[in-house]
Amino acid sequence: MTMHRIGIIANPVKQGIAFTVEQFVNQAVAQGMVVCLEEDLRTACKGKDVNFRPADEIPAHCDIVVALGGDGTILRAARTVRASQIPILGVNLGRLGFLAGAAPEELEKSILRLKSGEYQVEERLGLEAELDGKNVFALNEFVIEKGVLARMVQVKTWISDTPISSFFGNGLIVATPTGSTSYNLSAGGPILHPSIEAFIATPICPHSLTLRPVVVPSNQSITVQVVAEHTDIMVTADGQTLSPLAPESKLVIRRAPYPTRLINLEGIPFYQLLRQKLDWSMDRRDPQE
């Protein structure tokens, strides 16, 4: 399928973003493509023959979304498209860019591939939870964590309706395979291939030597309850703080009903990406590595 309508999402305050946006728009328009930018980018693309829309209206006016920025911008694009299942191309302007499918120095080639349909689309499992009466989405992870100055908390978890653990510590990470290389990895959780239909429950600084991360099939849910004498307990989704979690209340996290579709222009295998981005399994004593 060829793409002729492109939506652009970017961080308007990122240094140099105006130049990159303008460069991408010029090349896309030159290829006969219709471009729609989120409203916050209006100052970065003055006088251009493009449309501007609020971010939540972008999916209705494009066949594909291009996220210009780091992984945070790509995660925001994933929240924006959600149920529309519009594919997302991440162009890495950040430090690591683990989710990005293209490099900024290859914009022209990227646009030509988008126009001709020469790319792979990977479907990624997401998570959903109900908080304060709203369904909240996360592509990487949900984190239930105590505040910086608060004492450790007791975290109780259930997989579906079965109690699985109760421990004292700093909190819990519930991560997708896509998010397994993020906070989950730093907390000692396993790396999952993005195609695996499962997610991970990883305790944060548990006050127990026996507690370990658990990989959960995607057709089950994880329920989390935090018991504490204080109220400084936060819930975040992909690094975005949502709201405090009331003590004793339960948060149910399950698979999102729709996958997130990420474009991989180069078709780079996941394990090769690990080696490139994380120096995974590389021996620095070998000068050829």
Q: What is the DSSP letter of 152?
A: P
- Six token digits for residue 84: 């529309």
**Distance between CA atoms of residues 66 and 102, nearest Å:** 10
* Nearest Cα to Cα of residue 63 among 40, 82, 86, 96: 86
Tell me if residue 195 falls in helix, strand or coil: coil
**Which residues does the annotation mark as catalytic?**
71
Question: CB–CB of 69/11 below 8 Å?
Answer: yes
Indicate the angle between helix axes 17-30 and 107-116, nearest 10 degrees. Answer: 40
Q: Report the 10 Å Cβ neighbour count for 284.
A: 7
Q: What is the DSSP letter of 194?
A: T
Question: CB–CB of 211/203 below 8 Å?
Answer: yes
**Distance between CA atoms of residues 26 and 29, nearest Å:** 5
Residue 201, φ and ψ in degrees, nearest 5: -105, 115
Tell me if residue 228 falls in helix, strand or coil: coil
Q: How many alpha carbons fall within 13 Å on the CB side of residue 148?
A: 0
